[in-house]
Each structure stands twice: as C-alpha cells, then as structure tokens.
Structure 1
Amino acid sequence: MEENTDINVNEMQEAENTENKTYTQEEVMALLQSEADKRVTQALKKQQKDYEKKLSLSGLDEQQRKQAEKDMEIQELKDKLREFNVMQTKTEITKVLSARGLDARFADLIEIGDDVEEAQARIDSLDKLFKAAVKAEVEKRIGSNTPKTSTIGLETGMTKEKFAQLNDNEKIAFLKSNPDFLK
C-alpha cells in the first residue's frame, strides 16, 4: 500500500514539474521504459517475498504450517494497521501544517510515526526553524538599504514661508504626509 502511494506522489510531482516541457519520441520512450522497469521491479520483489514465505512453510508439518500461516497473517495485519496509522498521522500533520501557513509538502520531510504528539513537536520545531530562517534571510536582504524617513514637517508649526523654502522633493513628501496643509 505504501509503495503505491509513493509512486502516485512521485508521478504527481513529476507531472507538476514537467507540465510545460516538450519531449522527443526517444525521451517519451525512455520515460515509459523507466516506468515499466519500476513496476516490473516492484512486482518481482513482491513475487520474491511470496516465494520466500511459501518456501519457509514447505518444510513444516501440517500443524506447524497452519500456525506459521496464522502468525504471518497476524503480522501482515499489524503491518497494515501501522501503515494506516502512519497515513492517518500524515493527514493530521498536513492539516496542521496548512493551518500554520506552511506548505503541506513539509509532511514528507517530517519523520512520521504512530504518535501524533511527537509529530506535533516536530512540526513546532520545523515551524520555528523555518520562520527564523525566512526572517533572517529577509533581514539580510533588506539589511542597510532601509529607506530613510524624512523629518520635514515633523516640527510643529510648518508655515507657508517655511514650506516655500523647501525644495520640490521635500514639498512633495510633506504634502503626501499632510494633504490638508494647503487647504
């Protein structure tokens, strides 16, 4: 189940990344061959696993084989339950990330287990680190190029005589901040 989800996520990401590209016939054939190879490899791995299970059961007597089959079935159910819990936790993490204004794709970067509280702590840590990094980068880029504020008109009592002595840029700046001055 998890392998299929990974394939679908990868296919969606590739589709997003390759949306505006054009391909030659050879490139299309290479992509198709690559995808076919992945699927064949997955099928072979699954077949190998099934074969190894059957081989391990073949040397047992009837009662031992039944017990081993039950144990394997129980283990498979536990694995599926664990996968389900992980998927459920991932869904919750995605919701929390979206609610915090973070990209839901960060859920793929967070180690997800069965414990929602542990995942929440990781999200808190990621949130703090990410926002601190963004803030630091913004401050670095803005740096010393902060615009200087004008002190024109800050003193009380701007008169028409003082206004007349200002240069054109200062007059414009003052009128923008005090539009009612000339009325």
Structure 2
Amino acid sequence: MRKKLTAVAVGCALLFTLGTGSAFADSKLDSAIDKGLGTKYVSGGTTTSGFDCSGFTMFVFSKLDIELPHQSGSQYKMGTAVEKDELKAGDLVFFNTSGKGVSHVGVFVGDGKFAHASSSKGVVISKLSDDYYVKRYVGAKRILSTDKFEEVATDSPDHDDVE
C-alpha cells in the first residue's frame, strides 16, 4: 500500500512538474516510467520488486518493445549521440558516478529532468541541473527513431495498454 501511495504521489508531482501541455504527460513512455516510480533500488534488479539503473531503463524500453542490455556501459554503446540542448523525452542520459566511466543511466522526461533508479532513493525524477549530476554527466543517446518517438512519447489514446 505504501509503495502504491508513493507511486501515486510521485506520479502527481510528475504531472504537475511536466505540465498538462507536455507531449510526455499522456503517452506510452509516461505510462511505462510511471509504473516504476517509487520502486526501491535493488542491485541487479529488473522488475517492480526492485530496480538498478540499467534494469529500470530496460524495463521502460521493454514496455515500448525495445530491448536494451542490462548494463549502463552497454546501453551507452547504442543509439545516436545527442547534445544536451537537443534532448527529447525518451533519450537515455549517462553519468560517471564511479570514477571509472559510464556507470549510471536514466531516461530523459523533458523539462531538464530524468527518471532513474537512484541507489539511495529508488526510482525517482531528478534534475540534470543538480550539481551532483552536472559534475558526472557523460552524454546522451537517442534510442527511439523519429517514428517510434511519435508512437510512444506523444499523447496516445491507447496508452493504458502498457502493462
């Protein structure tokens, strides 16, 4: 019950943060991310029982019929590089949190924010502008083609079919 209340609270906060005019607010991508919000962090986790960062991105993209490997460094090798000022909802953002290269990944949600599995807070929405992430930002990759982006990241009347 507590997890559901947390997810609802975070979902409401996300809705107000992103605004009702956002293309992201009523999409398959939003629905997939929303299902993970509030989930606890578990090393190696790939389900709503617990996620690590790449397990969370794997989960989100699996709901969009896209397969990702379970390792942030491997995910970084995919897609097309995107400049920070060109980010779109659904782009993967990567960080060096270990001092040894790419070690953390999240999904950009728009408005300078990204969803990710934080080892201390579980699945949350954070700001790319937070000092911690600014200092550790490595880059971003676009996994979604233009057509796939239109399908999953814009308002969708059938977005409730994401399970």
Give the TM interval when normalised to the shorter protein.
Answer: under 0.3
Query: Greater relative contact order: 1 or 2 (C-alpha under 8 angstroms, separation 6 or more)?
Result: 2
Question: What TM-score comes out, normalization by structure 2 length?
Answer: 0.20
Richer in strand (by share):
2
- Name which one, 1 or 2, has greater alpha-carbon Rg: 1
